[in-house]
Structure 1
Amino acid sequence: MITPQNLIRHELVGLEAKIIRSSNGDLEGIKGKVVNETKKTITIEDGEGNEKIIPKGSTTFHFTLPEGVTVEIDGKIIVSRPEDRIKKRFRKYW
């Protein structure tokens, strides 16, 4: 089960995401469903079917879990391949 405490060790594809802060001001406010994730980017599909590729390292995200809980994650924490994040040790950020 995905919780705020283990979100960074989980698959992000399928979660609702919103860009809170970004070094690129044009990206702020983008929200939608995560459809793909690579080492350095997250692809978000908005409600109209448009896909936006967002760099992880310079962005702060709000992810909405299936239970409706919203979690804020600094993209620098999740810059790695999704399959490598489950093995990685993290300091507590919450």
Structure 2
Amino acid sequence: MITKNNLVHHEFIGLNVDVKSKTDKSLNLFGTVIDETKNTFKIESSGQEKIIPKKGSIFTFEIPSGEKVEVIGDILSIRPEDRIKKRFKKI
């Protein structure tokens, strides 16, 4: 079960996300995560796919319980398969 305390150790694909970019305001959007790499998320928004850099962005994910969880993208710049093993500071 995904919770706010263990979100960073789970799969993001399929989650709704609100993106706020610190560097490029044109990347501010709401959509669904459809793919992930070490440094980016691919998000479908309004029928278009956008590639969003993790660094410099703030992501607010909606987890299945309906709760919204904010995560600073800089800490997610790690291969998705390695995220399970990594220990993170409390968010």
Question: Normalized against structure 1, the TM-score is what?
Answer: 0.92
Q: What are the ranges of 5 or more consecutive residues in structure 2 without an aligned counterpart?
A: none
Other-structure match for 1:2: 2
Other-structure match for 1:55: 53
Shift of the alpha carbon at 1:21?
A: 3.6
Return structure 1 stretches of 4+ with deviation > 6 angstroms: none
Q: Name the CA distance, whole Å, in 1 between partners of 2:40 and 2:21.
A: 15
Q: Does 1:75 align with 2:70?
A: no
Provide the secondary structure at the position in 2 that maps to 1:68.
Answer: coil
Letter in 2 for 1:75: G
Q: Name the CA distance, whole Å, in 2 between partners of 1:62 and 1:20.
A: 8
- Select between 16-25 and 63-72 the one with higher mean Cα deviation: 16-25
Provide the secondary structure at the position in 2 that maps to 1:76.
Answer: helix
Identity of aligned residues (%): 48
Letter in 1 for 2:38: K
Q: Does 1:65 align with 2:28?
A: no
Letter in 2 for 1:82: P
Other-structure match for 1:36: 35
Aligned residues: 91
Question: In angstroms, what is the RMSD of aligned CA positions?
Answer: 0.9
User: 1:33-58: CA deviations, max 9, x gaps?
Assistant: 10000000000001x32100000011
Shift of the alpha carbon at 1:2?
A: 0.3
